[in-house]
Amino acid sequence: MTRPFSGARAFTLSLGALLWMNQAAFAAADLESWINTQHAQGKIAAASVAEIDGRQVAFKAFGAIDGAKGAAPDRDTQFQIGSISKVFTNLLLAEAVADGKVRYESTIASLLPPTWKPSNTAVATITLESLATHHSGLPRLPANLSLANSADPYAGYGETELYQGVATARAKQPLGRFYTYSNFGVGLLGHLLGRAIGDGYHAAVEQSVLKPMGMQRTAFVGDANAAMAFSGGTQVPAWGFEDALAGAGALWGSVSDLARLVQCYLGSHPHQLKHVLDADLHITGPADAFEITRVWHVARAAGQPVFWHNGGTAGFHSFVGFRPDNGRGVAILISGDADPTNVGLAALGVAPIEPPSEAVDQSVFGQYQLNQQFGIGVFVEQGVLVAQATGQPAFGLHPVDKDWYAFGEVDAALHFLREAGAVIGLELVQNGVVQRAERSAELAVSQAKQEVAVERSVLESFVGAFDFAPGATLSVKLGAEGLMAQLTGQPAFPVFARGEDRFFYKIVDAELQFERDGAGKVVAVVLHQGGIVQRAARAK
């Protein structure tokens, strides 16, 4: 049996939920303070910043491009900008429309080879505009993108794989047109524009966008003086992209070029683009807690629009945004694990916001079992309807038809089955395969367990290492939000107290029962999972 959602991973080439820090807002000085703090904590190896005020630009640099004591970055140092590449892909779409090469309403079928045939005929009707605005219904990543090489996930995904991925997308599912951020969609858009213009995506972006804007420090390959990718305090390989998905995140750039991009939109720098840039600022629809245009995501500061985009690949994070009402903007490029999205938005006056809650059909809540080992829980998390398969994170669900809900993260959907109006089960549709699950409980497993509050001083007593076997150790640590448990070779996951010395996982149906000796000292832990009980003594 296919394990549900098992191919899903959230790589950093994405626009995830906006996670705000505790501070309500940042002044310009706070941006520098934040970078210095992140650098001191080892989360930033190098950073370049441009603060734009009309025609004036102030540049600042931090750290070293080699992560040690080498040369400091400057305004022209290149960093991989990740998903900010989407801005240039969408600008290419606007230029191609101005040139008469395509229309916003052009369908993907009209630009793909005549031999291409989709499993879901509705996929053929996806328009170029819906790809640009993340309303195409395509998932975040194609189902046939192999994630075996997590260090370079897009390497080797070429034209053949892209055409196959689009052909099999949303098979046996309704195609919803809800907002879901999609690297798949914008990558496909870039490839199709390259076909329509005739020279491929790389050449099209260079000739139609970068050259007319005078952006000489933006390219598909970083030069010899580019910042190195750093993650976890060590140098890591930068991601590589085939032409097929390059439009989603392949570009390298500098803050000098991003400042120029911002100034073009603010009207303080000339350019030779053919389309009117103000058209790129027209809001086309919602985007979770934000809004979206054909090019930018949109936040609000004192009611005024703030246009922005961010990016992240292995070892790099980036942000660019601007406010037309006051002529200000900021560009931040980072080598390291620190994400500048929050501080970048706050520097432009955006206050913390909560994603809007959705009206949900509570009749679909519950636990559904595919077999004894695997189930799917359906419940509301932070105001959003989600589904969580055994051993996996919860993913958001989007209504697309009566009793049909699609996932945005993965190419899968749930079809709820009813008798006399009551939900009795569901069908999981993934990769064209339909699997039935019976409803086994009215409350999802992860929701049935109630958390109890435990004093931090008590939590400290559980910290330590517990050996199940040679090479299999459970490490328990205390973080800012509570206990984290990590088994050798796996990520660390939070565990939640449900009783005296007993903790449970939300990401998997498993529990930890700690044992104490006569003096009250924690001496062992017992793992309960899938009917199997395993005991581990505390390491000496």
Sequence ranges of the domains in the chain:
28-347, 362-446, 456-538
- Planar angle of CA 299, 80, 28, nearest 5 degrees: 45
530, pLDDT greater than 70: no
- Helix, strand, coil share of the chain (percent; to 5): 20, 35, 45
Both tokens of 38, joined, read 């992140």
How many whole angstroms separate alpha carbon 327 and alpha carbon 266? 6
- When pLDDT is averaged across residues 223-241 and rounded to a whole number, the result is 92
Identity of the amino acid at 268: S
Read off the tokens for 107. 């369908």
Residues 312, 335: Cα–Cα separation, whole Å: 10
**H or E stretch at 196:** helix 183-197
pLDDT for 21:
31
> Residue 19 — very low, low, confident or very high, per pLDDT cuts 50/70/90?
very low
> 1, 5, 4, 10: which is closest to 491 by C-alpha?
10
**pLDDT higher than threshold 80 for residue 164:** yes
The CATH class given to the 456-538 domain equals: mainly beta
Distance linking the first and last C-alpha atoms of the chain? 42
Q: What is the mean pLDDT of residues 166-179?
A: 96
For residue 91, pLDDT beyond 70: yes
Q: Which of 240-254, 426-440, 520-534 has the lowest mean pLDDT?
A: 520-534
Q: Which residue has the higher pLDDT, 21 or 211?
A: 211
Q: What is the pLDDT of residue 218?
A: 98
CA distances from 169 to 166, 399, 412 (A): 5, 17, 9
Q: What one-character-per-residue DSSP string does 518-530 give?
A: TTS-EEEEEEEET
Mean pLDDT for the stretch of residues 349-369 = 86
Lowest mean pLDDT among 288-302, 451-465, 489-503: 489-503
Instruction: Output the pLDDT for position 489.
Output: 77
Q: What is the bridge-based pairing of β-strands 492-499 and 482-487?
A: antiparallel
Exposure string of 9-47, with b = 16+ CB inside 10 Å and e = fewer, is eebbbbbeebebeeeeebeeeebbebbeebbeeebbbbb
Hey, is 533 helix, strand or coil?
A: strand
406, 174 contact by CB (below 8 A): yes
**Domain covering 362-446, topology:** Lipocalin (2.40.128)
CATH number of 28-347: 3.40.710.10
Using only C-alpha atoms, the chain has a radius of gyration, in whole angstroms, of 25
Q: How confident is residue 2, by pLDDT bands cut at 50, 70 and 90? A: very low
| Structure-token pair, residue 54 | 């009309």
Among candidate residues 355, 189, 375, 220, the one with its CA nearest the CA of residue 288: 355
The per-residue pLDDT for 446 is 72
